[in-house]
Chains A and B, each alone.
Chain A
Amino acid sequence: MKLTEKEIEIVELLEKNARLPIDTMAKMVSLSVSEVEHIIKKLEEAKVIVQYATIVDWRKVDGHEGVTAMIDVKVTPKRGVGFDEVAERIYRFPEVKSVYLMSGAYDLSVVIEGRSMSEIAHFVSEKLSTLDSVISTTTHFILKKYKHDGTVFEQGDQDRRIVVAP
């Protein structure tokens, strides 16, 4: 799908802040409110805009600290369906947050979230490793999130500029 420059600008603005008011956005890209609404609707229908999500710092919420792990998975691809079938079997688990097919030393990169390390260990040993196509797994637990999807979590964001300057 070929997008115009303004359509791309709108997508980029929404990607940074999905709650940007339409009338503000309309001014920023020099279009009318109804034109912007129309473009957004079109992009939603075409699934260019897949979903509006929120980045949450769960560490700040008591009892919701949780654990995230990235698992490198080696698999045997199947004739006819390649990696897609095993990828699908993995991503159907709701605790799996992302699945990517990778180049390099392993095949699938799986991001999983759980309440505790033992919960994730259980998933890996019981659900993931036992799949027929899975040859091996290497689990890496995330210790701290500094930056996620372009957003820095702890940002010293103060404006250091002097108040009035020529």
Chain B
Amino acid sequence: MQKTKTYVSDTVSRLQPSGIRRFFDLAASMKGVISLGVGEPDFITPWSVREACILSLEQGYTSYTANAGLWELRKEISDYLACRFEVQYDPANEIIVTVGASQALDVSLRAILNPGDEVIVVEPSFVSYAPLVSLAGGVPIPIQTSGKHQFKLQAEQIEQVVTPKTKALIICSPNNPTGTVLNREELVQIARIVAKHDLLVISDEIYAELCYDEQYTSFPAIAHMRERTILINGFSKGFAMTGWRLGFIAAPKDLAMAMLKIHQYTMMCAPTMAQYAAIEALRNGAGDVEEMKKSYRQRRNFFVQSLNEIGLSCHMPGGAFYAFPSIESTGMTSEQFAERLLLEEKVAVVPGYVFGASGEGYIRCSYASSLEQLQEAIRRMRRFLERL
């Protein structure tokens, strides 16, 4: 008998493919493109970390680890969070090593959502949040931040969308795609509203190491927030380890144990060799991170000032490696701008609309590229703008 129906679930059918995809295909088909579209470091993982992984393979550490991850690694993560971010988590039952921060997000959402529960997503945002909420049976509720406020979430915006069904709020600071960092006072304001409405916060702190102008504040370090926060972090950005797929969750015991149930059934454990590498990263990688951070900061300063000079107004992003300039002065949509810039000058940027409605009128430029590439990209963008 012939198949007469689609076997794909309704939830998945309704998911939109990421808008980034189309650009990827277009840019990948062209030669001589300078890509400012890459959401990952341009550094290769520090050699000492790669070498530690090789050693672990030579020694034959190739079996599963505990579901939550190697004990030594969880202890290192616990110490790291305590020293670096002033938050305390018990390695025995409050830390889970995951396959990247992406899996950490997935596990978190599935652990907390009942069908129809609402999750507030602060846009412009990383493209996975809303789909992951939907896949977990929840309903993503966007909040649009504004360029007027440098895309900082205003605490009162939460109140405007909270309903009895609101379960959680996802925040990401430093933010992808805007680079915006929320400082302690701003987080305290958010915490006040979160407590008032008894919300859970999923704090995606994957860019925490890349915060350039001020001391970073981790959300669970705000008074009374630890008990209602799932902290997500990992090795991809700060330690330049994207391909290793290694992240972690830190959360109060009851939440962590719920998430561990999902993790043990779906993932068993994160890759063993990557976990050994991560131990080395935490023990001896701080110097490498510091060097990379300095280099990003210099490139940020150069790139953002240059964008403003060529007429694309851009706030100075406090962290991550993204500049998010406005292209409204050109009268084009972000998609038109990105497409023409790619076709006419071979510079790939990501149109802001893919990160949410409030990203329209902006483009995301990653400055994690060599200085020479950034200089050339600016030359090409200047030429492009002058021609308009």
Contact = CB atoms under 8 A, between A and B. Distances in A.
Given A27-B305, A28-B301, A164 B371 contact: no
Interface stretch (A54-62, A113-121, A130-138, A155-163): A155-163
Interface in B300-321: 301-302, 305-306
A65 interface: no
- Find the residue from A9, A163, A164, A165 having the highest chain B CB count within 10 A: A164
Contacts of A166: 18, 20, 39, 126-128, 176
Interface residues of A, number: 15
Nearest to B349: A164
Interface in B103-141: 126-128
Contact of B299 (A28, A30, A163): A28
Q: Is the interface of A mostly helix, strand, loop or mixed?
A: loop
Interface stretch (B27-35, B56-64, B85-93, B182-190): B27-35
A163 B42 CA distance: 12
B346 to A, nearest CB: 11
B128 A163 contact: no
B38 A27 contact: no
Give the bracket for the number of chain B residues in contact with chain A: 20 to 34
Contacts of A159: 42, 369
A164 B27 contact: yes
Given A24-B302, A28-B299, A29-B298, A165 B348 contact: no
A99 interface: no
A44 B127 CA distance: 50
A86 interface: no
Interface string A14-56: 0000001000100111100000000000000000000000000
Interface of B: 18, 20, 23-24, 27-28, 33, 35, 37-40, 42, 126-128, 176, 294, 298-299, 301-302, 305-306, 348, 350, 369, 371, 375
